[in-house]
Amino acid sequence: MLKRYRQWFIGLSFFFILLPVAYLLWVPDLSKLKKESPKKTALMEYREEKLREKGRKCRIDQSWVPFSKISPYLIKAVLIAEDDKFWNHEGFDYEAIQKALEKDFKAKKFKFGGSTITQQLARNLFLSPEKSLIRKISEAVITWRMEKVLSKKRILELYLNVVEWGEGIFGAEAASRHYFGKPSSELNPEEAARLAAILPNPRRFRPMGDQRYVINRSNLIYGIMIQRGIVIPEVKEETEEDESFSSINSNPCQGSEP
């Protein structure tokens, strides 16, 4: 146990020593993002490059929409799924980082989990998805700067417009139209929960269908939305006739084979 925490401390010390070096070497001009929306992100370019290497063409499907035109159900669902402390932290969820590090130490693998929405946005906009210590340090520097320069609302607006939601599908509007055939402003709570459920791995999972992981995760997200009063479930009122019919047909085995 002591050895594990010593390794963890050394790793973090090394991480923070390199932070100022990374800052001096390269920090993008984030002030432009206050009003400008990037036409293409580093992740989009990375996906295109990988497909070209395989001899395939990749059509990027993305449509920018303002924050006010995105379903509030989707916004809430994504926050629950990806970064429940978003409005309170300053770019880093230290508790989540610690848990991720402890998990990595046990597995003897460094996956660098525990990323917040701001960290994900920094990575999507400017960095490669390939995992390395240098990339993680660059991500931390950009994240720190992003939280200083941009408002929380703008960070979330950018994230929802560039996050990957399937092969060639980026942003809430493109995802909503691709999977549900409607603008993102019209997504209902169940659809929002389904879209949020696939974000950890949108190239593997789909919001539609019967994938067990997606069903379980979307049900969990939807349940939290109900608990928090974001969604008010509809309650069907029974009439006296309904109650009478229900009492007559109350056999729990009805419809089953003998």
For residue range 132-171, list pLDDT tens digits in order. 888 888 899 999 999 999 999 999 999 999 999 999 999 9
Q: Which two tokens stand for residue 229?
A: 């009063």
Structural domain contains residue 125: yes
- pLDDT mean across residues, the chain: 82
**What percent of the chain has pLDDT above 70?**
73
Tell me the angle at which helices 133-149 and 2-25 cross, rounded to the nearest 10 degrees: 60
Q: How many domains does the chain have?
A: 1
For residues 163, 169, 172 and 175, what is the CA-based torsion angle, rounded to 10 degrees?
Answer: -140
Q: Is the pLDDT of residue 18 over 80?
A: no
For residues 160, 165, 168 and 169, what is the CA-based torsion angle, rounded to 10 degrees?
Answer: -50
Higher pLDDT, 220 or 1: 220
Q: Is the pLDDT of residue 177 over 70?
A: yes
Structural domain contains residue 202: yes
Structural domain contains residue 165: yes
Block residue for tokens 């309650």 = 235
**What percent of the chain has pLDDT above 90?**
59
Structural domain contains residue 2: no
Per-residue confidence band for 110, with pLDDT thresholds at 50, 70 and 90: very low
Structural domain contains residue 146: yes
For the chain, how are helix, strand and coil distributed in percent, rounded to 5? Answer: 60, 0, 40
Instruction: From 112, 100, 83, 94, select the one nearest 196 (Cα to Cα).
Output: 83
Range of the domain at 97: 17-28+41-231
* Number of residues that this document lists for the chain: 258
Structural domain contains residue 255: no
Q: Residue 245 has what pLDDT?
A: 32
Instruction: From 208, 124, 113, select the one nearest 161 (Cα to Cα).
Output: 124
Residues 10-35 have a mean pLDDT of 68
Q: Is the pLDDT of residue 58 over 90?
A: no
Q: Residue 179 has what pLDDT?
A: 97
Q: Is the pLDDT of residue 202 over 50?
A: yes
Contact 175, 124 (CB under 8 A): no
Residue-wise burial string across 102-138, b where 16 or more C-beta atoms lie within 10 A, e elsewhere: eebbeeeeeebebbbbbbbbbbbbbbeeeeeeeebbb
Pure H helices in 85-198 = 94-107, 117-126, 133-149, 152-162, 172-180, 189-197
Q: What is the CATH number of the domain that holds 46?
A: 1.10.3810.10
Per-residue confidence band for 66, with pLDDT thresholds at 50, 70 and 90: very high
Structural domain contains residue 245: no
Q: How far is 181 from 66, CA to CA, in rounded Å?
A: 19
Per-residue confidence band for 131, with pLDDT thresholds at 50, 70 and 90: confident
Instruction: From 171, 160, 115, 125, select the one nearest 146 (Cα to Cα).
Output: 125
Q: Residue 103 has what pLDDT?
A: 59
Q: Residue 113 has what pLDDT?
A: 54
Q: Residue 4 has what pLDDT?
A: 57
Instruction: From 85, 153, 158, select the one nearest 124 (Cα to Cα).
Output: 158
Structural domain contains residue 111: yes
